[in-house]
Amino acid sequence: MPRANIQLDRQAVIAPVRRRLFGSFVEHLGRCVYTGIYEPEHPSANEDGFRMDVVELVRELGSTTLRYPGGNFVSGFRWEDSVGPRDKRPVRRDLAWHSLESNQFGLDEFARWLKLTDSELMLAVNIATRGILPALDLLEYANHPSGTTLSDLRIANGSPEPHNVRMWCLGNEMDGPWQTGFMTADDYGKLAGRTAAAMKAADKDLELVACGSSGSGMPTFGDWERTVLEHAYDHVDYISCHAYYQEHDGDLGSFLASALDMDHFIDTVVATADHVGYKRRSSKKINISFDEWNIWYLEEHQASQEVNTEWRHAPRQLEDVYTVADAVVVGNLLMTLLKHSDRVTSASLAQLVNVLAPIMTEPGGPAWRQTTFYPFSITSRLASGEVIQPVIEAPVYDTARHGEAPVVDAVATVDEDRAAVFLVNRDLEEPAQITIDVRGLGSSQIAEAITLADSDVYAKNTLAEQDRVTPAANTSAALADGVLTIELPPVSWTAIALH
Ligand code: AHR
């Protein structure tokens, strides 16, 4: 049985727990919006047509900041189409996902929906195919209190209060040839810098995100970030990272170690951003908005040629059904984001409902939690205060994709009156015996210990079996004389809350 020793010291603070790390993403893609969060005919719908069964699950998920409305969708989007009287809103073709957009749900509806879920709105603007003036118009419509044409239009449209959007993404994945209006790093960096300067002339306190690479595998990765920031450094606050993981060719060991790739990705982007900053003799630091991360069985989607040949509204797209192993990796990726919360200060699980999502729905039917829902919701609930860097002594194993990987990974958070430890066991066969020295946290009592695991690591929650996989109390956890011991099943994710 693998054994691991973990030391936790209250002084080893990385950074505060950033609530924005528990963000997610709502794109006009597939059924994320239509029959996901908005379905006027659904039995649970409120007077606005919002599915209240989904609202309840989103609240339980504990997502904080929600990125909207795309994604690739945003690069063909005219925001004006999505506001005002519904019967006047145009139906458009969405080239990104080859489907129809009815615009029956738009910015004002989303802002109203966010109030029900206590979430913050993070907007993406289309600078790929539109440009600076439409971005400024959207900013005026969304944030100006009143007394201008566009703010008064928002008021006339039923939103008297400004939406007060703080975080704005300047386009999406602009390095990707699949992106409508994709650009070179030079062209994008110049445009992002100019757009950011203009937006900050309207409101200097905005937090603006320049697009980083669509993934660390892009041929331009590294150079893209450097070039974009050389143009836009003074005007933007964040550079984005996007990463999707999946199990390749049955190599579960490598998949379970995906967090190592995310870790390396973040370190590389931070180093690149700081390089540009040092060269400019700037004291400003650019942080990371990890505004798309998740598991995505992209290879299977590509192989199945799942392309809409017809123009349909809200077709089923990217409805990945997640396994126990996927949930363990999601939990581990979230731990990695926490460990980098000195520089990764915002992140979005992509996405929220139906599309690569922790929450699934059936039109006219139920809503349920995918396996990945649990590590996200439990971490969001328990992590508070400051993130602590653990010292971990654990055996390692070889992976084809990431080299040597520790069998056990962990991170902790500590607040005034409580602490939490999050753990994964990546071993495919064996439980891991863990000893954690918590004397440095001053913790004396276990409040709860919860583990997600299953004898079938590919077990899933489905419409037919919505609660096939749920977390359970880990009864092996014990705390005596400042030493916590716990056994972690193979391929498992665990959270321990301490008083
Ligand atoms: O989240 C799905 C898609 O993945 C997004 O639209 C795009 O930004 C990324 O490629």
The residue whose CA is least distant from atom 9 of ligand 1 is 71
Task: Please tell us whether the domain made up of 18-382 is placed in CATH 3.20.20.80.
Answer: yes
The residue whose CA is least distant from atom 3 of ligand 1 is 71
The residue whose CA is least distant from atom 5 of ligand 1 is 71
C-alpha–C-alpha distance, residues 383 and 375, integer Å: 11
The residue whose CA is least distant from atom 1 of ligand 1 is 350
Our answer on whether the CB atom of 332 is closer than 6 Å to any ligand 1 atom is no
Ligand 1 centroid–CA 370 distance in Å is: 20
pLDDT in tens, 418-476: 999 999 999 999 999 999 999 988 878 999 999 999 999 999 999 999 999 999 999 99
Ligand 1 centroid–CA 388 distance in Å is: 32
171 Ramachandran zone, left/alpha/beta (phi>0; psi -120 to 50): left
Q: What is the pLDDT of residue 247?
A: 97
Q: What is the pLDDT of residue 299?
A: 82
Which of 66, 72, 98, 291 has the most ligand 1 atoms within 8 A of CB, as the residue to mutate?
72
Q: What is the pLDDT of residue 358?
A: 98
Residue 276 backbone phi and psi in degrees, to 5: -65, -40
C-alpha–C-alpha distance, residues 202 and 384, integer Å: 34
Query: Above pLDDT 70, what percent of the chain?
Result: 99
The residue whose CA is least distant from atom 7 of ligand 1 is 71
Q: Which ranges constitute the DSSP H helices of 218-323?
A: 223-232, 252-256, 258-279, 298-303
Our answer on whether the CB atom of 172 is closer than 6 Å to any ligand 1 atom is yes
Ligand 1 centroid–CA 22 distance in Å is: 18
Read off the pLDDT of each residue in 55-82 and give the average, rounded to a whole number.
98
Ligand 1 centroid–CA 362 distance in Å is: 22
* Nearest atom within ligand 1 for CA of residue 292: 1
**Through-space distance between the first and last CA atoms of the chain, rounded to whole angstroms:** 29
* Nearest atom within ligand 1 for CA of residue 356: 1
pLDDT in tens, 386-417: 999 999 999 999 999 999 999 999 999 999 99
Our answer on whether the CB atom of 70 is closer than 6 Å to any ligand 1 atom is yes
The residue whose CA is least distant from atom 2 of ligand 1 is 71
* Nearest atom within ligand 1 for CA of residue 294: 1
Ligand 1 centroid–CA 323 distance in Å is: 21
pLDDT in tens, 24-38: 999 999 999 999 999
pLDDT in tens, 318-355: 999 999 999 999 999 999 999 999 999 999 999 999 99
Q: What is the pLDDT of residue 305?
A: 54
CATH of domain 3-9+388-498: 2.60.40.1180
Angle between helix 149-156 and helix 132-143 axes, rounded to 10 deg: 50
C-alpha–C-alpha distance, residues 408 and 386, integer Å: 21
The residue whose CA is least distant from atom 8 of ligand 1 is 71
Catalytic (active-site) positions: 173, 292
Residue of 267, 264, 206, 263 lying closest to 237 (CA atoms): 206
Our answer on whether the CB atom of 292 is closer than 6 Å to any ligand 1 atom is yes
Q: What is the pLDDT of residue 306?
A: 58
Q: What is the pLDDT of residue 198?
A: 98
pLDDT over 70 (residue 250): yes
Task: Give the amino acid at 492.
Answer: S
Ligand 1 centroid–CA 147 distance in Å is: 37
Read off the pLDDT of each residue in 305-318 and give the average, rounded to a whole number.
83
Ligand 1 centroid–CA 419 distance in Å is: 35
* Nearest atom within ligand 1 for CA of residue 29: 6
CATH 3.20.20.80 residue ranges of the chain are: 18-382
C-alpha–C-alpha distance, residues 226 and 268, integer Å: 11
Q: Which pTM does this prediction carry?
A: 0.97
pLDDT over 70 (residue 481): yes
pLDDT in tens, 179-224: 999 999 999 999 999 999 999 999 999 999 999 999 999 999 999 9
Our answer on whether the CB atom of 179 is closer than 6 Å to any ligand 1 atom is no
pLDDT in tens, 97-149: 999 999 999 999 999 999 999 999 999 999 999 999 999 999 999 999 999 99
Q: What is the pLDDT of residue 298?
A: 87
Ligand 1 centroid–CA 151 distance in Å is: 30
C-alpha–C-alpha distance, residues 288 and 297, integer Å: 25
Cβ–Cβ under 8 Å, residues 109 and 38: yes
Our answer on whether the CB atom of 72 is closer than 6 Å to any ligand 1 atom is yes
Which of 25, 26, 27, 101 has the most ligand 1 atoms within 8 A of CB, as the residue to mutate?
27
The residue whose CA is least distant from atom 4 of ligand 1 is 71
CATH 2.60.40.1180 residue ranges of the chain are: 3-9+388-498
Cβ–Cβ under 8 Å, residues 38 and 51: yes
Distances (CA, A) of 381 to 257, 354, 392: 24, 22, 24
Q: What is the pLDDT of residue 307?
A: 62
C-alpha–C-alpha distance, residues 266 and 260, integer Å: 10
Read off the pLDDT of each residue in 354-371 and give the average, rounded to a whole number.
98
